[in-house]
Amino acid sequence: MENLENSTDCKETASPLNNSGSLLNNTDSRPDGRAMGFVLVHAGAGYHSESKAKEYKHVCKRACQKAVDRLRAGGMALEAVTAALIELEDSPFTNAGTGSNLNLSGEIECDASIMDGKSLNYGAVGALSGIKNPVLVARRLLSETQKGKLSAGRIPPCFLVGKGAEQWAISHGIPACPTEKMTTKFSLSGYKRNKRKMELAEQVEMKRKRQSCEHENNSACLDTVGAVVVDREGNVAAAVSSGGLAMKHPGRVGQAAHYGCGCWAENARDISLYSTAVSTSGSPFLAGEDCVLGGVIVLRCCTCGEAQRSEDIQAVLVEFLWSHTTESMCVGYMSAQDSKARVSSSYI
């Protein structure tokens, strides 16, 4: 295994269905002040129009850069993964935050969750409206649970939905954002088109077909965006965010918000030498039935001392992969030692 102190050159398989790589990094800060760490992101598994391939790649690059900036500034995995998700949510081309799918009532309701591999704490929101960056609320929920019990011995929430989640976010300093400001021309036109299809199907008494199997309109990704990060101390974190299915029933909470479904992060324990972070996309995840599709990104790392080099230096072996059963998936990855992110658009 090559020691990659200034690059993230990695070995990739040729298959678009299952791509992987590995690298060896020092986890302590270098003498030149550059911190160590690694980030892997995805912009959703589904159908990505080739005409918008540049936009998907650009947002993955920006998300990686935001995460790496936090790592270089001394930030931990939770901070970095949150920064990556904010960038993905802010893009009008992803189905998360701004530009999310509209539900049956023409409203945006988002799901998001985040997990800290060190503490195993988790925070999530479901069917959340009126907040630009749902991942910020999930992150704040996680942070509040780490502070312990509330007054009178009450247990702090880690998962909130609907109006309760929105009110909690605002009361904790996260600004509200009107739905119309989060709705894009693309998501609105998709809503109107889907609504016409539903009305026509009802008129002719046809069965409603899953829209996730159709991409005649060059739609964007169909589900969750996500990121996984390892920081200089070997801590891992994972996060996901989703606007959910197009034309979903108001109040529906997808897998992105559920514990152990949308994401998972766990540092190395006595029973395992490896730290693992996972972020999934699809509902349900990677099922084998027709039109039930998804994707996944996985990061696994092992921290070990290199006594032959220095007792003060630790190295971390990072393995990462992405896989999907959907028509396409766009991913990006970057080490804190790299000058720029690498991106890949995978098509079946």
Reduced 3-state DSSP string for 51-93: HHHHHHHHHHHHHHHHHHHHHHCCCCHHHHHHHHHHHHHHCCC
Q: What is the pLDDT of residues 248-273, one digit of tens each?
A: 999 999 999 999 999 999 999 887 88
Report how far apart, in Å, the C-alpha atoms of 314 and of each of 4, 226, 265, 271, 338 are.
13, 28, 21, 21, 19
Is residue 327 a contact partner of residue 347, using CB atoms and an 8 Å limit?
yes
More confident residue, 222 or 109: 109
pTM here is 0.84
Average pLDDT for residues 70-78, to the nearest whole number?
Answer: 97
CA 167 to chain centre: 24
pLDDT of 288 over the 60 cut: no
The whole-number pLDDT of residue 18 equals 63
Q: What average pLDDT is seen over the chain?
A: 83
Average pLDDT for residues 237-246, to the nearest whole number?
Answer: 96
More confident residue, 178 or 161: 161
Least confidently predicted of 77-86, 155-164, 249-258, 311-320: 311-320
Given pLDDT bands bounded at 50, 70 and 90, which one contains residue 325? Answer: confident
Is residue 19 a contact partner of residue 344, using CB atoms and an 8 Å limit?
yes
CB atoms within 10 A of CB 164: 13
More confident residue, 202 or 78: 78
Least confidently predicted of 130-139, 256-265, 300-309: 300-309
pLDDT of 213 over the 70 cut: no
Which residues form the catalytic set? 224
